[in-house]
Structure 1
Amino acid sequence: MVKIDRSLDRSGMLETLAKLPFIIKDAWELGKGAKLDIPKNLVIVGMGGSAIGGELLAIFLENKYNIKVVRGYGIPPTKFVVTSSYSGNTEETLTAFEMAKASNCKILAITSDGKLWGKAKSSNIPLIKIPHGYQPRVALPYLFFPLLRVLAQEYDKEIPKLCEFIYLQHQNFDPNATNNPPLKLAQEIYLSGKTPIIYGSGLYAPVAHRFKTQLNENSKCLAYWDSFPEMNHNDTVGWSGEEHGDRYLPILLRYKGEHPRVTKRIELTKSLLWKKQKMIEVWSRGKTSLQQLYWGICFLDYVSVYLALMRGFDPTPVDIITKLKEALAKE
């Protein structure tokens, strides 16, 4: 077993991950007072972790709402826009906020502070204010559950069961656990010395995206992601062009409820492309879709943090992003 140096976790990322059940409960309560008439078609604007929250909602509520997630400075034609920025100072989201106002869209702002909070308050725009002090990627539940409560209050009875389920899972994810699946997966990735390419489908497509970004920000390594069945129309050819076993590590995220044709595609792809090279499959846990969704988030967040510690990094700082934002502010 590769040793991890917990002293590198100077900002306490592992400690924060252990609080996930309590953060979920708190985040759900924040959506209680926001009573809005939201149409079936809406746009969520955000970047980074704020956008991932929108992606998770879009796939989780796909049978009830048509949610388009926008990463960028503009918005498509729409009547309702959710502007989501944990810091409240995301340049792209603030620009989209002003565009939505100019277009007379109804707006809901979700933020912890910053310019977005000020603009929403001064314009008397509905606002869900979430706690500050977290890294945006750690604050994911605050960017998901308040809006979920606004859109689908029927999940109220499931939230306590979800929190209990995630709490029990944490017992196996803790650094002191005897059998620690995320630690073992992090070790597999670390010892492979390869760049992870992550694939998901359906409910787990945004989970694959989330894992990719967590490997980028927490583990400080390159990673890529794609989804089934889309990858069968492009990535598949790339894998067949030459031997990639010494450079890339395919990681398949699976869940109970995959479309049967997707399951067939995955099995055929495995036999055609990865029969002779190392490949990792991760199967979800949980009885409900919400439990499976957040089991994947929780499990893979731990993987990314353990991998960071194996690689000798503090998982929290993202210094290069800070420098980029400072440089942009001067332009």
Structure 2
Amino acid sequence: MKHFVEEYPLQIKKAIEIGNSAVFTQTEKKINNVVIAGLGGSGIGGTIAAGYLYNKIKVPVVVVKDYHIPEFVNEKTLFIASSYSGNTEETLEALAQAKKKKAEIVCITSGGKLLKKAREKGFNHIAIPKDYPPRAAFGYSFPQVLYVIHKYGLISKKFEKQLLESAEYLEKNTQEIKKNAMELANFLFEKIPVLYIASRFEGVAVRFRQQLNENSKMLAWHHAIPEMNHNELVGWRKKNNELAVVFFHTPEDYFRVTKRMEINKKIISEYTSNITDIYAKGDNYLACANYLVHLTDYTSVFLAELKNIDAVEVDVITYLKSELSKI
């Protein structure tokens, strides 16, 4: 898994080439909303993209991680089906529903049933490289969500320069990132990670939690601030040094969210002595998100090494899918 993490900046650069080379059939439909369907390593790209789009796009964006799509989906919906394998049953079922509602459909995949359907039905689609664990192809799949939305005229292409610059920064600062990732891994080793982050960047925390689950074979939880201050904060009542809290910070954070984090740390420090801060590098959303994703991906792999386990193995998911296939 480590070599997949190491190539993340290169994946972003190649993703830019793939996005630019994709040719779409133009539509005369006026897009009124965007729905991004995907799960796991494929779905998290939609979540993080939604954070970027929050103050960039003038139509609603909804991320679906389920079998069913919203009732509002219609012929003016841009429906993006993202499944790395192309065989994710929830995404395929959601796609069938979107087709019935005559949505404008685009597929992002490396193959499988989804690519076959896209070709048979004439859906616009972007094919990305095969033979990766889905979560390890994030650098290929995530940028394609932005390219799709750009190709429909809903956002500018400003994101491309930011993606490229962030990839170059990650390449130039690999050793520092790995050093910080190892420090974070040592901090979290044999602990239960608790991750806190500003709401707009919640997708980054979700990504880290998923990587801890799959690569490090650990349970973890996350919450977003300020919402966490209206509920979970009250749950901190009992001393527990098995909990290790990570506060993620970015230059994009609203100043009152930053102050909330300071107060939260003061409160939580009464109940665990394990609290640390991680600061993103970058001057825009994509730079910060890519930095944190890369650092925490490394952390999840380093934790697997500390635990002497296989970061790639996900046998229980394979078993679950096998059982579901019998239905």
Work out whether 1:52 is the aligned partner of 2:38: no
Work out whether 1:71 is the aligned partner of 2:65: yes
Q: Do the aligned partners of 1:204 and 1:253 also contact (CA within 8 Å) in 2?
A: no
Match of 2:31 among 39, 47, 53: 39
Give the structure 2 partner of residue 280 of structure 1: 276
Give the structure 1 partner of residue 164 of structure 2: 160
Q: Aligned letter for 2:56?
A: K
Give the structure 1 partner of residue 107 of structure 2: 109
Q: 2:206 and 2:164 mapped to 1: Cα distance?
A: 27
TM-score by length of 1: 0.89
Q: Aligned-pair distance for 1:40?
A: 5.5
The worse-fitting range, judged by mean Cα deviation, of 121-130 and 163-172 is 163-172
Give the structure 2 partner of residue 182 of structure 1: 181
The percentage of counterpart residues that share the same residue type is: 37
Q: Aligned-pair distance for 1:251?
A: 1.1
* Partner secondary structure for residue 173 of structure 2: helix
Q: 2:6 and 2:32 mapped to 1: Cα distance?
A: 35
Q: Aligned-pair distance for 1:238?
A: 1.1
Q: 1:108 and 1:68 mapped to 2: Cα distance?
A: 15
320 and 81 in structure 1: CA distance in 2 versus 1, 3 angstrom threshold: same
Q: 2:54 and 2:162 mapped to 1: Cα distance?
A: 18
Q: Aligned letter for 2:188?
A: I
Give the structure 1 partner of residue 53 of structure 2: 61
Q: 1:107 and 1:184 mapped to 2: Cα distance?
A: 43
Give the structure 2 partner of residue 171 of structure 1: 175
Q: Aligned-pair distance for 1:173?
A: 4.0
Q: Aligned-pair distance for 1:201?
A: 0.9
The worse-fitting range, judged by mean Cα deviation, of 267-276 and 317-326 is 267-276
Q: 2:161 and 2:201 mapped to 1: Cα distance?
A: 23
Give the structure 2 partner of residue 19 of structure 1: 7
Taking only aligned residues, the RMSD between alpha carbons, in angstroms, comes to 1.6
Q: Do the aligned partners of 2:46 and 2:145 also contact (CA within 8 Å) in 1?
A: no
Give the structure 1 partner of residue 153 of structure 2: none
Q: 1:102 and 1:54 mapped to 2: Cα distance?
A: 22
Stretches (4+) displaced over 6 A: none
Work out whether 1:200 is the aligned partner of 2:204: no
Q: Aligned letter for 1:294?
A: N
Match of 1:248 among 243, 265, 281: 243
* Partner secondary structure for residue 87 of structure 1: coil
Q: Aligned-pair distance for 1:296?
A: 0.3
Q: Do the aligned partners of 2:247 and 2:278 also contact (CA within 8 Å) in 1?
A: yes
Aligned residues: 310
Q: Aligned-pair distance for 1:275?
A: 4.0
Q: Aligned-pair distance for 1:135?
A: 0.8
Work out whether 1:29 is the aligned partner of 2:24: no
93 and 264 in structure 1: CA distance in 2 versus 1, 3 angstrom threshold: same
Deviations 1:281-331 (A, max 9, x none): 111112332211100000000000000110111111111101111111012
Q: 2:227 and 2:2 mapped to 1: Cα distance?
A: 34
TM-score by length of 2: 0.90
Q: 1:268 and 1:290 mapped to 2: Cα distance?
A: 27
Give the structure 1 partner of residue 140 of structure 2: 142
Q: Aligned letter for 1:28?
A: I
Unaligned runs of 5+ in 2: 151-155
Q: 1:103 and 1:141 mapped to 2: Cα distance?
A: 31
